[in-house]
Amino acid sequence: MTITTAATPARWRVKQPSIIPGFGLTLGFSLAYLSLIILIPIAGLLWRTAELGWSGFFSILSDERTLRALYVSFGTAFIAALVNVVFGTLLAWVLTRYRFPGRRLIDAMVDLPFALPTAVAGIAFASLYAPNGWIGSIFMPFRIAFTPIGIVIALIFIGLPFVVRTVQPIMEEIDKEVEEAAATLGANRFQTIFKVLLPGLTPAILTGFALAFARGVGEYGSVIFIAGNIPYVSEIAPLLIVIRLEEFNYAGATAIATIMLLISFAMLLVINLIQAWSRRRYGNV
Amino acid sequence: MEVRINTIRKEFDRFAALNDVSLDIASGELIALLGPSGSGKTTLLRLIAGLDFPTAGQIFFGEEDASHHSVQERNVGFVFQHYALFRHMTVAENIGFGLKVRPSASRPAKAEIRKRVSDLLDMVQLSGLENRYPNQLSGGQRQRVALARAMAIEPRILLLDEPFGALDAKVRKELRRWLREFHDRTGHTTVFVTHDQEEALELADRVVVMSQGKIEQVGSADDVYDRPQSPFVFSFIGESSHLPVEVKDGTVLFQGEPIGVSGQADTAGDLFFRPEDVVLTEERDALFGKVTASRRLAGTRIAEIDIANNGHDPYHVEIEVPLHAPIELGSEARFRPTRWKIFTK
């Protein structure tokens, strides 16, 4: 032991010289920042939940109202993300492939859900789709607002830019040669799009789906106006959390939050694994 | 399949990329379109393929006017410069793609497709790699997958855009030889685009030299190198120097003095010659100038010579001299072209 110590040079350094300096500083800052913003709040959440003990946690988890709320939240977010994948990809296609007057305007409009206060969007949707609203009255007696369908519509609005903005840049990079190659091999437009172009976009579409889905699960502001918030039917989990908080049932609120956290985490993990797999196969995006 | 290109013209926003080009390609020929960038060679290739459509003129495949047929109808094999492989498909799926997308009436059975793919893989010497993805292959392997994919549809002609452009020098040389053998074996009418004259001269039956949207010369490697028909071809292919001369009474005059070279009709123009086509001489009637540099080139030496030009910038020429010729920097060299061509201005 002493021999090895003696043999090593006296100037042992933690830092390897690097052409990109500041590793220690930036990593330290990143970790501190992540702790403050994400890790400590989540730890607090879990801490608060732990006060319930396993039996308390499971009784909240198995409560019919909690289960229905989770089902509504994840179900509507999932459907909305699916819808966004289809129409968001279509919208990205139109924006990248064609040059038409007003294209820039539409391109800018895509970001509107990012900027608009979600409550404003929720109120607008509620008044449009309500049974006596412009659009809602057309569909009567079929009700859109104050049902899970209304929630899906609000979540589609919220999630749209996530899909468009992840798919668009990848679509812009598609090599024209690839399409031409498909054409010289005899493929028609339909085959070129569905067999050549879209499979190449899969990783980007999956990312867009994951983002839109995650955003939809946590959405509160726009949904509560159009959902009707009927327990067991159109009550979303974030609203149930607020209700529990208003009842000063903090442990109950954090328990629901923890369950949402776990489900979201599991789903994002699965999506990330699919992405990693497709990246390994096809090379980087 | 012979291909006839009849006074074809292609304009992009009124800029003529191709200017009334005509070319006959015989069945089974290996043709190189050679030219600097912007000469219209790739445009011509894309017009033959049907990836672009001519502004005027026709393209005949055999007797059939293919000018307005879509790329799908033309049934051509096209190998892109960057291969354009489908990266989400395996090698086998890439090669079989052209067969799989056929309408069900003419689509071969699955087993048949598999057999064709494996035959093609044999042909391009990539057996055993059928389940790899393109990003797991080297550049040369991708190139051959692209070729096999183009061949799978049994194309009437094979078109290659800068087929070796993205490869390193060694692989490029190997593939060049391999493509020649491949062509001799399959006998497909093949047109390839290149800006590398060595590649064109070595590989092609006939070379089409293009410049500024026009064909400058069509001919064998010997034709374009030994008998260039335009100043452009003379200077684009191989090394050359040129000097302004006059021809009077059967003698070529440079700056009014005879240089020991005879000409025919009286004219004024540019005298072109290659470095290897000169002899050093002691005689009075010759070109002479100051040696400004000399460099060793394999078995010979290239001397750079400045010929005085009455106080203007000197004319710069390069000549090849024997290794032991008494050429020293700063000394005067006297020489005469032994083979030359005068292009009238």
Contact with chain B for residue A111, Cβ under 8 A: no
- CATH code of the domain covering residue B283: 2.40.50.140
Number of domains composing chain A:
1
List residues of B whose CB lies inside 8 A of any A CB. 49, 51, 70-72, 75-78, 80-82, 84-89, 97-98, 101-102, 133-135, 149-150, 152-153
Q: What is the 3-state secondary structure (H, E, C) of A93-141?
A: HHHHHCCCCCHHHHHHHCCHHHHCCHHHHHHHHHHHHCCCCCCHHHHCC
Q: Which of B81, B101, B153 faces A191 most closely, judged by CB atoms?
A: B101
Q: What is the mean pLDDT of residues B13-22?
A: 90
- CATH code of the domain covering residue B137: 3.40.50.300
- CATH code of the domain covering residue A178: 1.10.3720.10
Are B174 and B140 a contacting pair, CB within 8 Å? yes
Residues B197, B249 within the same domain = no
What's the domain range around A63? 41-282
Residues B206, B247 within the same domain = no
Residues B108, B63 within the same domain = yes
pLDDT value at residue A1: 42
The dihedral of CA A131, A135, A140, A146: what is its sign? Answer: negative
Task: Give the pTM.
Answer: 0.78
Residues B210, B278 within the same domain = no
Q: Which one of B181, B212, B235 terminates a domain?
A: B235
Do the chains contact at A180 and B149, CB–CB below 8 Å?
no
Contact with chain B for residue A279, Cβ under 8 A: no
| Residue A171 placed within a domain | yes
Q: What is the mean pLDDT of residues B247-255?
A: 87
Residues in chain B within 8 Å Cβ distance of A180: 51, 71, 78, 80, 84
pLDDT value at residue B125: 87
Q: What is the mean pLDDT of residues B304-312?
A: 88
Does the structure show a pLDDT above 80 at B166?
no
| Residue A193 placed within a domain | yes
Task: Give the model's confidence band at A120: pLDDT under 50 very low, under 70 low, under 90 confident, else very high.
Answer: very high
Do the chains contact at B49 and A184, CB–CB below 8 Å?
yes
Q: Which of A178, A180, A202 faces B86 most closely, judged by CB atoms?
A: A178
Closest CA relative to residue A217, chosen from A152, A169, A273, A140: A152
Does the structure show a pLDDT above 60 at A2?
no
pLDDT value at residue A153: 92
How far B253 CA sits from the closest chain A CA (Å)? 54
Q: What is the maximum span of chain A, computed from C-alpha positions, in angstroms?
A: 89
Residues in chain A within 8 Å Cβ distance of B82: 175, 177
pLDDT value at residue B150: 93
What average pLDDT does the structure give for chain A? 87
Backbone angles phi and psi of B158, in degrees to 5: -115, 125
The dihedral of CA A104, A106, A111, A116: what is its sign? Answer: positive
Helix or strand run (H / E) with residue B12: strand B3-12
Residues B168, B38 within the same domain = yes
Does the structure show a pLDDT above 70 at A8?
no
Residues in chain A within 8 Å Cβ distance of B80: 177, 180-181
Whole-angstrom Cα distance, residue B259 to residue B256?
A: 9
Residues B179, B313 within the same domain = no
Contact with chain B for residue A175, Cβ under 8 A: yes
Helix or strand run (H / E) with residue B183: helix B169-186
How far B255 CA sits from the closest chain A CA (Å)? 54
pLDDT value at residue A282: 67
- Residue-wise pLDDT for A168-192, tens only, equals 998 988 888 899 999 999 999 999 9
- Which amino acid would we find at residue A31? L
How far B25 CA sits from the closest chain A CA (Å)? 20
Q: Which one of B235, B260, B292 terminates a domain?
A: B235
| Residue A16 placed within a domain | no
The tokens of B274 are what?
A: 């290659």
Closest alpha carbon within chain A to B159? A184
| Residue A36 placed within a domain | no
- Residues 6 or more apart in contact with residue A33 via CB below 8 angstroms: none
How far A90 CA sits from the closest chain B CA (Å)? 21
- Residue-wise pLDDT for A35-83, tens only, equals 999 899 889 888 888 888 888 888 888 889 999 999 999 999 999 999 9
Q: Which one of B184, B218, B235 terminates a domain?
A: B235
What's the domain range around B326? 242-344
Residues B278, B187 within the same domain = no
pLDDT value at residue B142: 93
Residues B47, B174 within the same domain = yes
| Residue A123 placed within a domain | yes
Does the structure show a pLDDT above 50 at A285?
no
Bridge-based pairing of strands B157-161 and B77-79 is parallel
Residues B159, B217 within the same domain = yes
Contact with chain B for residue A188, Cβ under 8 A: yes
| Residue A17 placed within a domain | no
Do the chains contact at B87 and A177, CB–CB below 8 Å?
no
Whole-angstrom Cα distance, residue B94 to residue B116?
A: 12
The tokens of A172 are what?
A: 């812009």
Contact with chain B for residue A11, Cβ under 8 A: no
Size of interface A-B (CB pairs under 8 A): 75
Residues in chain A within 8 Å Cβ distance of B81: 177
Contact with chain B for residue A191, Cβ under 8 A: yes
pLDDT value at residue A16: 65
Residue percentage of chain B with pLDDT more than 70: 100
Residues in chain A within 8 Å Cβ distance of B77: 184
Q: Which of A177, A187, A282 faces B84 most closely, judged by CB atoms?
A: A177
| Residue A10 placed within a domain | no
- Residues 6 or more apart in contact with residue A26 via CB below 8 angstroms: none
Q: Which of B81, B101, B133 faces A185 most closely, judged by CB atoms?
A: B101
How far A267 CA sits from the closest chain B CA (Å)? 24
Closest alpha carbon within chain A to B158? A184
How far B173 CA sits from the closest chain A CA (Å)? 25
Residues B205, B309 within the same domain = no
How far A190 CA sits from the closest chain B CA (Å)? 10
Residues B169, B272 within the same domain = no
- Residues 6 or more apart in contact with residue B166 via CB below 8 angstroms: B81, B82, B139
Residues B273, B216 within the same domain = no
Whole-angstrom Cα distance, residue B274 to residue B337?
A: 8
H-state helical runs in chain A: 2-7, 23-34, 40-50, 53-61, 64-97, 103-109, 112-115, 118-129, 136-139, 148-173, 176-184, 189-191, 198-218, 221-227, 237-246, 250-282
Contact with chain B for residue A58, Cβ under 8 A: no
Closest alpha carbon within chain B to A179? B84
